Amino acid sequence: MKTTIELPDDLYRKAKLLSARRGATLKELLTEAIRSLLRTKPGIKHAHRLGYAEMPLLKGRRKAPAGKELTPERVHEVLYGSTE
């Protein structure tokens, strides 16, 4: 379906730049953004910047064992395997 929307100039420029960096069209970027907003559950805070999501804060009673701390490098290792 086609529709027309008005965006502030600065928002349009930022969205256009982001879509170009991602190798996508502005239509694809806006479609992705709207779908993401519609998937969120009411009452849960989410980051408002495209491409980022807030992580929940987990509090433990004791420290993680040495080498098992949750660092960006550790997350990458868990998700994608060795960092080497």
* pLDDT tens digits, 50-73: 555 566 667 777 887 887 777 788
What's CA 5's distance to the chain center, in Å? 24
Domain-located, residue 15: yes
Domain-located, residue 77: no
- The pLDDT of residue 15 is 94
Q: Decide: helix, strand or coil at residue 33.
A: helix
Domain-located, residue 75: no
The shares of helix, strand and coil residues in the chain, as percent rounded to the nearest 5, are 45, 0, 55
Domain-located, residue 16: yes
Domain-located, residue 54: no
Domain-located, residue 71: no
Q: How many folded domains does the chain comprise? A: 1
Q: What angle do CA 69, 71, 75 make, to 5 degrees?
A: 100
Domain-located, residue 56: no
What is the extent of the structural domain holding 2? 1-43
- pTM exceeding the 0.95 threshold for the entire prediction: no
If you average pLDDT over every residue of the chain, what do you get? 80
Domain-located, residue 64: no
